[in-house]
Amino acid sequence: MSVLESIVRDLETLPAPRLVEVAHYVSGLNPKRREERLAALRATAGCMSGEEGATFERLVREEADRVTVDDGK
C-alpha cells in the first residue's frame, strides 16, 4: 500500500468535522495557496476603521458560537 493510499484509508474513517480540519491543514501546506492568502491579507489589511473592525469581529464571534456540527450537513 502506498503512502497516499494509507492516508486516504485513514481519512475515510474520520468524521466530517475532522475532515474539515485536515483539509485546512493540507491547504496550508501548499506554498502557492499560502502566498495567495498572504496576498489577500496584505490587500485588505487596515481597510476597516478600528470601530468597524471591532464590530465585525464581535458579530463573527457571535455567529461562530451559533454554528453546530449539523450545520455543515
CA distances in angstroms from 20 to 6, 33, 48, listed in the order given: 19, 16, 29
| CA dihedral angle for residue 11, residue 15, residue 19, residue 20, rounded to 10 degrees | 180
Crossing angle of helices 16-29 and 31-44, rounded to 10°: 90
The residue written with cell numbers 457571535 in the block is 62
pLDDT of residue 50: 87
Give residue 55's Cα distance to chain centre.
21
pLDDT of residue 71: 60
Q: What is the mean predicted confidence (pLDDT) over 36-64?
A: 88
pLDDT of residue 16: 92
pTM: 0.44
